[in-house]
Structure 1
Amino acid sequence: MQEVTSLVRAFYGSRRSTLSPTDLRSIGPICTAIEAHNPKRALLLCDQLLKRSPAFPSALGLKALALCIASHPLSASARNDIAKVVDTAKMASKGAALDDAEVLMLLTWALRFAGKGDEALDLMAKAVQNNPDNEELANDAFVQYLRIDDCKSAQQIAMKMSKQFQDERYLWWSVLTTILQIRNLNHPQGPLLLSIAERLLASHYANKPGATSYATANEFHIVSRVLELRAQYSNSTEPPSRPNSTAKPSSSSPSLSNPIALPTLPPTEPPRSARRALLDHFASAEADKRCDENLGFEIWRRDVEFDYGSVGGGEWKRLWDRLATGLREKGDTNWHSMLYMIRAACAVASSSATSLEGPSATEAPSPVGIALLEETRQLLRTLSNESPKSKVERGYLLGLLEVARELRIRQWPEADKLDTLVAEYFDRFGTKACCFDDLLPYIDALSPQELASLRSTLSAATDVSLTDIRIATKAINAWKLLRRYAPPGSAGEEHEAALAFTRLYFEALPLGANLPPTELQPADDFALLAGQAWVAAYQTSRSRAYLESALALSEHILQKSKYKYQVRILAINLLRQLGASSISLAHYRIFGVKNVQFDTLSHLILARGSTYAITAPKEAGVVPEAASVMAWYGSGQREAREMSVRTFMNDAFTKVEDFYEFRQHLENSLQQGLATVETLRMSLLSGTLDAEAIETASIRLAKYVELGDDALVDHRDYKTLPNYQSREGQPIWVQSELGPRPDVNWLRILASAYRRFLQPSSADMQGSNVPTSCTEMEQRFVAFSRDAHLALIADLEGAGEREQAALAFFRDQVDKFATLTDDDTMLQWDVLHCAAVSLEVRLSTALELRLRQRTEDYRFQAFVLLEVGIDRRSEEMILQKTPEQVGLCHHATTLLEELTCHLPAQSKHAKRLRAFRNAARDAVKPIGPKLTAYGKRVAKERAKIVAALAHLQQFEPLDENRLTNFAHALVDSRKSSADALGLAFSRKTAK
């Protein structure tokens, strides 16, 4: 365990300066043994050392740590031993071990690892209480509270430290930990905690009479955040919450308008409201100074003025004046500045702030607001025509487009024609690669007549000779826009469009002939357009030849532009659809995904990755990738906790909430939940589920079953593959991914299904609708899990009917599989998905139990998912036996044999479950030979693929030899996937 290694290294390093050479030599071998994950030797050395020195704190801490790695999962005896070590540490030498911050860290970590988090907190609190003058111990306690996200305890101890040690730093720690508690505006004690933070600030600045500024940017940030939270919690207004807040305040929250004197807020009569205090704070000279020094503060001020301002208060007009001055006199080219200037003008015109996510139609605008919008338009027009930066700065013209779009959506009088501005922007900046993305929101607002007019402008840009990179880029943008706003074509039309884009690709390819290998070819997007056109042709015709054409071209592109990730992602998706898992994994590994990219990009191969969990012996599969992802979530969350702690230790107070939010998002990642379920499915199929994994899976599944719709955060990146399909049809991601996109509903329903097998007696049988994010096979599996669960827990009289309902699933799967293999329009992933789900239900980990000397010895081997439920149910029934009966069946080698030893009723249940298991095996067995036959059919498709790709031979680089090699590689990978799964099916269903 990496965390244990880090702990023991840090502990030994700290002991160098506190222990005598003799004592340091005595703990050295123990630390080495723990670091080498040799708990037996570590425990032996600890016992020897404690025999000589029973109260030696370092030995007690190391023994607790060694017990944590003594067994996997942690046994009940190990948990008891850890508790005994901690009790010894409390009593030995009057609790001297609790005076040592480093030893205390080991003891509390061990308690949390043993599932005794409350005891760890009590131990820490007792140590601090017994040593009120030990600043180092208090600091360590604060850090440990932060690590476990106990902000309440951290805030309390920081407040005590501030009073005890008179260090201003601890005051800011206390306020910040209060902010972390109440930033979610649903906190039941939010107003009370906020009032405590106010008193701390008031008391702090009361000792600095006459102060008109803040000593540091950290102080300004903390005070600003407290004032913002006061305004958010105040029931005098309920503005939109900040992006880093997760809810709106309750209308029942008490008013927080008590006067508070700060350097930027001298006392007034009557006292300011919470909202007014926040606005006046950001309107102060100190705020001007801080915002000039820090763009982050300036953007924050704009948000506050926009969200809390009003026409009467003049905040929106002052915001507009300040931003207009920056553009006019200071050469500000920040798009955020232009956008907020436009929003401020719209707010003045409508007398209300409008969400940046998209305005809606409002009442007639005020004359003052219309005049301000006209002044905004004239300013942007002047800058777009006369500014020295206008030839390269797109923001001015985009600002004009934004003004025109706002006027149109709000149904206010339009000053400029939106389609004319779009054409002007395309004419001036069409040579920039970003032109397509820039124009999308504005073209979406055009009428059909305006779109028809725009098409003629765009068509003119496509009828050119591609002799220059700028001309080629403009033509690519024009083709993207034309394709985006054209109706979906027939398969033949899309195929012809793809060929045309391919011709343009090869025509423009010489433009990048002299570029280094690390650069992208200017012509690449022509090929990406061709690939998406072929995907669209497949959606209409269901002919795999179109997908194979897109892949053949993609392989050629990636030889020229190794780092064109959009093409590689499209290739990964299409290869997975066609069943060529090994090639798709090779492409994925080229990305070198690491760190937080696991959370955003691992869905590329983990989304329903269990379909390809079984591979040929010498072929790398998706299972190691899944293991890497899950390992990173563990290490990444530990690192996130440490980064959050370091923001306090390094006085980076402006970053505290950012890192805290990052930590929360990582711990509540949707992709982690999806990866957990997929990893479990892979373990079932590959037969690698061990004792620790099955217990861990049970705990995690129980958590996911109870999830709310907003409990997890989705960080999966689907913008990496741009959509150039018609806006009237499906986007490219939907067309190229494996089935409906898994979401939190998918996670919840699948977690419930698996939990019925892993924990039959405690599984929730409440019926819920199967979400549309499940494939047809997954919907069948969920229904089967309910029937099988009822069969597992049924009594003898009602078991027969339940078992037949469950067995019907296997018979239906056999029929469905036969239908899929006979349908030439079906993708190979559909076929393998059906087989994998059937095998997944059939395959899993069979728990064998032997009782030796009255102790449990668990061994796992690959068998059936149904048998997981059978074995888990058998185990539950064994545990219902009386203590005198447990452990007497020394000859029993399986749970079912153990179950038959004593009670007649249990013996009958064992026979019933055994018959149920055998019937399921016999029912699903026919899929194995059919899958093997399917693999042989795939092997014969090489010539068919080459013939289907004959139209590509008109392009010289894609000659017959290259296409033949491509077809052989594709077929070999597809055949390997089918053969591996077929072999596993036959092996696992054999008697």
Structure 2
Amino acid sequence: MVSMYEDAFKQQPNNEDLGSQTFFANVRIGNWKAAQQIATKMHKQFQEEHYLYWSIMSAFLQANDPSTPEMLRTVLLKLAHRLISSASTPSYYSADRFHLHLTILRDLGLYDEACQMLDSDAGKTVCSASLSCDELRREIWKLKGLTKEEGERAQKRIVEAKDRNWLEFLAVLDAAFADVAGQEVDEAKKAACSEAVAKTRELLAQIAEEDGRRDRSGLLALLELEKRARAHNVSIGPSELQDLLQRYFQRVGDKACCFEDLKPYIDLQDDELSTWSAFLKSQTSPLATTEDLWRYINVQKLLRYNLSEAEVTVELETARATEFLNAYFEGLKLGKDLPDTELQPADDLAVLTGQVLVNLWKLSGKLEYLYHALSALEYASSRSKHSFRIHLMLVRIYRLVGAPSLALEHYRAINVKQVQNDTLSHFILSRASLFSLSSVGDLTYSSECMEASQIYMSNSQETAEFIVRAFSTEKYSQIPDFIVFEDRLDNSLQRDLTKIEHVRMRIAHEQINSDLVDMELIELKFIFDRFHHDNRDFEVQPNYQPRHLPTFDQQTLLFNKTPGPGWLSIFLKVYIRAFQLASDLDDTVEDKLLIGDRPKPSNDPENRLPLKERLAKRKQEELDELTPDELAFLEFATALSDWLAPYHDYARPPPSAVLAEAAKQTELKTGHPLKGLELPTNGSATNGHTKKDEEPPTVQEPPAAVTKFFDNMSARFNDLVQREVLPHEILLVSSLTQEALILLSIETMRFKNAAVVKQNKFGALVQSFKEIRQKAAASLNEMAATLSKLGEKDATVEGRKAFVAACKPVWESSELDHDFVSTVSKKVTDAKKQIFEGVAKGICRVCKNHTS
């Protein structure tokens, strides 16, 4: 597209529309240097000032591009500064032009010039009408060291204009502690700070009194003031925090925001904690109104946060779960007339109940508490269909008990949209290949991976258009944010974690052939070069566990580990190496055959190392993200690749032969020759290797890490089954064992050709493959038989009765009835049977496909 518009503009240099489209084409791909040159040319030719600002913005963006050298960055910023300073119309005529001018001055460190602009009447007018300019003004004043002046300005806004923007309160607080913000603090500075704190306290107390229940900013600012005063040893006394906490709760305790507001200020100890807890316990009352209900909920959250280790026992937690569940049913009466589209005011009590029950499971190790949680939360979700917090809790617990189909139902009930696919999909797609039944043709989880990945395709197309539109309408303040947004999505960690999971599902479902191998190899190499951004949201699920315990999110993690950059790096290395061995594409062939734009590589110095060296690296922080079973799989995969690499390198056709075959196939399919290739003129296209006189490598015995892997995994599997661990632990061992067999199949694909084996004298090598496959088949078939039995175990009348009996404390002590729990038990046991039997059948199918 860029080439097309550039050629057209050269042919019609007086066509303004073609010039704009050429500029936009370069903007879409982030080619800021070319964009700046085109905009400069257009400004000179058409004398439109917005073209000058396009040029300035392009120079600024080029300066901030990660690929721009540091010395050139300064030159570009100075160029942008000279152009914007010499513009015929001052920048303050437009808020976005003014914002661009200030940003350039900030990046050049010209704070005096920036402050001069801001202090002008025009600058003040722009900042008063533009939030983005005012935010930038705050930043510049802070960099200039005008913290106290900003505090005075903010105080004036709060008092005279009744501005309750929290940023204004933070500016006042920062100013109060400006004297002790540096590293060297003497008694004089401490005294000045103490005096400033006293004045600020008086001001905030007055505001809090004036605002009453209308606005909580004043009270919250007083709490923040006291927290900072304690940190700097300028507090007026130990009772101040208690008084403020109690005042805040009395005024805001009946609102949903109370707990989250107070959480940063209630890390209390000893007498302070006793006084605070006693106060909270005195605040409970009958649940007659919604306000009473919220006050009760906030009391329980605040009390629970500060529970000591001695107060978190099975007996006490059981009593709390019963109390919260009964209070939930009592609170439901207050929302009985609400439509289905509304959330129940008692929802947080169901969440509290679920989190207490999960903690009981962690304390006791008894699975029945997870069944209790499922029953209570399923009922809550039926009464509050749009509570994403309840749905997400159910997703996490269903994955723990081995019911992935039900987890997916609740995830889909959240109706995730747009960029939420990037921030929330980790709830369902983290280690999704564990629960995939793609090996038997059930592509549900595979399809979910594809659907969740649509946002990345949309981002590549749509965000570039947003940037173009921002240039068209001169919304310069928005452009850097769009670029950051596009980059964070393009290089999303979750995007590529999902990709790896999809690859693992795909190879279990599809026939392994050269097209699959080549395509995945190219894409995984692109991913390997990226610097990843972790956009996953781990805070969306609230945590109401005591502060000394792991969070609910941590408690419900599979294997107590979150796959991150290290996990991704390890699996990328495993699969890139495997696909490299199976593929005929080397870098030379890939460069000649690959058509289209390549992703921008990361500037990480490590990326400059040879790919072979990077693939061999094993960093400890990467290994720490793996489970012991995944470490065993890594050892197998590494040993397998090291063993087979010499034979692949010898038998692989030379690049000239690969290109000749590609040219031949292209001409057969299209009727046109493949252009730009230098094809061989001799017979080398048919040779298995380039040196006819070179002896093939001697066939070595397979390493112990390869030959013993399947026996070791079989023993590990049997041990887990006997210990009756959670389903995902058993499924991990069986899926990794299956994956190892598929990996063996991928890396031995070249040697299925009898001619290659005979020509290279690899008969003994092929015999080794047969022996390894036999071991793999024996282990996997045994696992499949055991998994089938496990699937049948719970999905019987007796199994369902046992589930209901285990939940008896829940439905006997609350309004949950026996029939509802029975329905839940049937859903859970059927889902567990589906996954166990499906995986078992899949293993049998994989064995048949890869050992025959």
Q: What TM-score bracket applies, with the shorter chain setting the length?
A: 0.7 to 0.9
Question: Which residue of the partner structure matches residue 601 of structure 2?
Answer: none
Moved more, 776-785 or 429-438: 776-785
Cα shift readout 1:399-420 (whole Å, capped 9, x = no counterpart): 1001101111122343672222
TM-score using structure 1 length:
0.73
- 1:807 lines up with 2:727 in the alignment: no
Displacement of 1:957 after TM fit?
A: 3.5
* Whole-angstrom CA distance in 2 between matches of 1:809 and 1:964: 42
- 1:900 lines up with 2:781 in the alignment: no
Relative CO higher for 1 or 2, CA cutoff 8 Å, sep ≥ 6? 2
- 1:841 lines up with 2:724 in the alignment: no
Cα gap change, 1:637/1:976 in structure 2, threshold over 3 Å: closer, same or farther? same
Paired amino acid for 2:262: L
Question: Which residue of the partner structure matches residue 223 of structure 2?
Answer: 401
Cα gap change, 1:162/1:896 in structure 2, threshold over 3 Å: closer, same or farther? same
TM-score using structure 2 length:
0.85
- Give matches, 1:775-794, under 5 Å: 775-794=627-646
Question: Which residue of the partner structure matches residue 63 of structure 1?
Answer: none
Paired amino acid for 2:73: G
Cα gap change, 1:370/1:690 in structure 2, threshold over 3 Å: closer, same or farther? farther
| 8 Å contact kept, 2:493–2:533 | yes
Question: Which residue of the partner structure matches residue 200 of structure 1?
Answer: 83
* Whole-angstrom CA distance in 1 between matches of 2:640 and 2:780: 15
Cα gap change, 1:794/1:493 in structure 2, threshold over 3 Å: closer, same or farther? farther
Moved more, 514-523 or 362-371: 362-371
* Unaligned 5+ runs, structure 1: 1-104, 109-119, 232-273, 353-359, 843-863, 875-894
- 1:140 lines up with 2:21 in the alignment: yes
- 1:471 lines up with 2:370 in the alignment: no
Cα shift readout 1:539-563 (whole Å, capped 9, x = no counterpart): 1221110001000001100111111
- 1:166 lines up with 2:47 in the alignment: yes
* Whole-angstrom CA distance in 1 between matches of 2:794 and 2:700: 41
Instruction: Describe the SS at the equivalent of 1:486.
Output: coil
Question: Which residue of the partner structure matches residue 95 of structure 1?
Answer: none
| 8 Å contact kept, 1:326–1:332 | yes
| 8 Å contact kept, 1:756–1:869 | no
| 8 Å contact kept, 1:179–1:226 | yes
| 8 Å contact kept, 1:316–1:345 | no
Displacement of 1:635 after TM fit?
A: 2.1
* Whole-angstrom CA distance in 2 between matches of 1:280 and 1:745: 48
Cα gap change, 1:841/1:197 in structure 2, threshold over 3 Å: closer, same or farther? same
- Give matches, 1:129-278, under 5 Å: 129=10, 131-183=12-64, 187-188=69-70, 189-205=72-88, 214-231=92-109, 274-278=110-114
* Whole-angstrom CA distance in 2 between matches of 1:696 and 1:342: 57
* Whole-angstrom CA distance in 2 between matches of 1:453 and 1:904: 83
Cα shift readout 1:221-254 (whole Å, capped 9, x = no counterpart): 11111111111xxxxxxxxxxxxxxxxxxxxxxx
* Whole-angstrom CA distance in 2 between matches of 1:727 and 1:501: 19
Moved more, 196-205 or 756-765: 756-765
* Whole-angstrom CA distance in 2 between matches of 1:335 and 1:492: 43
| 8 Å contact kept, 1:612–1:621 | no
- 1:344 lines up with 2:175 in the alignment: yes
* Whole-angstrom CA distance in 2 between matches of 1:771 and 1:644: 40
Question: Which residue of the partner structure matches residue 670 of structure 1?
Answer: 493
* Whole-angstrom CA distance in 1 between matches of 2:56 and 2:763: 64
Displacement of 1:978 after TM fit?
A: 0.4
Displacement of 1:191 after TM fit?
A: 0.5
* Whole-angstrom CA distance in 1 between matches of 2:381 and 2:184: 47
Displacement of 1:975 after TM fit?
A: 0.5
* Whole-angstrom CA distance in 2 between matches of 1:797 and 1:126: 54
Paired amino acid for 1:829: H
* Whole-angstrom CA distance in 1 between matches of 2:504 and 2:186: 55
Aligned residue among 302, 305, 309 for 2:144: 309
Aligned residue among 115, 118, 124 for 1:279: 115
Displacement of 1:381 after TM fit?
A: 0.1
| 8 Å contact kept, 1:581–1:612 | yes
Question: Which residue of the partner structure matches residue 585 of structure 2?
Answer: none
Moved more, 803-812 or 132-141: 132-141
| 8 Å contact kept, 2:512–2:746 | no
Displacement of 1:598 after TM fit?
A: 0.7
Displacement of 1:607 after TM fit?
A: 0.4
Aligned residue among 506, 518, 528 for 2:341: 518
Displacement of 1:798 after TM fit?
A: 7.1
- 1:410 lines up with 2:293 in the alignment: no
Question: Which residue of the partner structure matches residue 660 of structure 2?
Answer: none
| 8 Å contact kept, 1:390–1:396 | no
Question: Which residue of the partner structure matches residue 483 of structure 2?
Answer: 660
Cα shift readout 1:587-633 (whole Å, capped 9, x = no counterpart): 11112212111111111110011111106979772111111122331
Displacement of 1:690 after TM fit?
A: 7.2
Aligned residue among 534, 544, 547 for 1:724: 544
Paired amino acid for 1:393: D
Question: Which residue of the partner structure matches residue 929 of structure 1?
Answer: 785
Question: Which residue of the partner structure matches residue 362 of structure 2?
Answer: 539
* Whole-angstrom CA distance in 2 between matches of 1:435 and 1:715: 27
* Unaligned 5+ runs, structure 2: 583-610, 648-695
| 8 Å contact kept, 2:314–2:360 | yes
- Give matches, 1:855-894, under 5 Å: 864-871=742-749, 874=751
Cα gap change, 1:803/1:687 in structure 2, threshold over 3 Å: closer, same or farther? farther
Number of residues of Structure 1 aligned to a counterpart in Structure 2: 761
Paired amino acid for 1:409: A
Cα gap change, 1:907/1:542 in structure 2, threshold over 3 Å: closer, same or farther? same
Greater share of helix: 2
CA RMSD between the two structures: 2.4
* Whole-angstrom CA distance in 2 between matches of 1:779 and 1:591: 35
Question: Which residue of the partner structure matches residue 829 of structure 1?
Answer: 728
* Whole-angstrom CA distance in 2 between matches of 1:693 and 1:426: 61
Cα gap change, 1:619/1:900 in structure 2, threshold over 3 Å: closer, same or farther? closer
Cα gap change, 1:727/1:689 in structure 2, threshold over 3 Å: closer, same or farther? farther
Aligned residue among 136, 145, 162 for 1:300: 136
Displacement of 1:672 after TM fit?
A: 0.7
* Whole-angstrom CA distance in 1 between matches of 2:147 and 2:792: 71
Cα shift readout 1:111-148 (whole Å, capped 9, x = no counterpart): xxxxxxxxx5xx76555445433333322221111111
| 8 Å contact kept, 1:384–1:390 | yes
Displacement of 1:334 after TM fit?
A: 1.2
| 8 Å contact kept, 1:158–1:174 | yes
Instruction: Describe the SS at the equivalent of 1:594.
Output: coil
Displacement of 1:279 after TM fit?
A: 2.5
| 8 Å contact kept, 1:607–1:738 | no
* Whole-angstrom CA distance in 1 between matches of 2:39 and 2:341: 52
Instruction: Describe the SS at the equivalent of 1:714.
Output: coil
Displacement of 1:351 after TM fit?
A: 5.5
Displacement of 1:742 after TM fit?
A: 1.2
Question: Which residue of the partner structure matches residue 691 of structure 2?
Answer: none
Cα gap change, 1:546/1:397 in structure 2, threshold over 3 Å: closer, same or farther? same
| 8 Å contact kept, 1:595–1:636 | no
- Give matches, 1:606-755, under 5 Å: 606-614=429-437, 621-687=444-510, 694-706=517-529, 711-739=531-559, 740-755=561-576
* Whole-angstrom CA distance in 1 between matches of 2:511 and 2:760: 34
Cα gap change, 1:689/1:793 in structure 2, threshold over 3 Å: closer, same or farther? closer
Instruction: Describe the SS at the equivalent of 2:802.
Output: helix
Cα shift readout 1:66-110 (whole Å, capped 9, x = no counterpart): xxxxxxxxxxxxxxxxxxxxxxxxxxxxxxxxxxxxxxx3xx5xx
Cα gap change, 1:568/1:616 in structure 2, threshold over 3 Å: closer, same or farther? farther
Displacement of 1:900 after TM fit?
A: 2.8
What is the aligned-residue identity percentage?
Answer: 29
* Whole-angstrom CA distance in 2 between matches of 1:620 and 1:782: 26
Cα gap change, 1:492/1:406 in structure 2, threshold over 3 Å: closer, same or farther? same
Paired amino acid for 1:817: F
* Whole-angstrom CA distance in 2 between matches of 1:461 and 1:452: 15
Paired amino acid for 1:737: L
| 8 Å contact kept, 1:669–1:715 | yes
Paired amino acid for 2:80: A
Aligned residue among 802, 805, 816 for 1:947: 805
Moved more, 578-587 or 935-944: 935-944
Displacement of 1:784 after TM fit?
A: 1.5
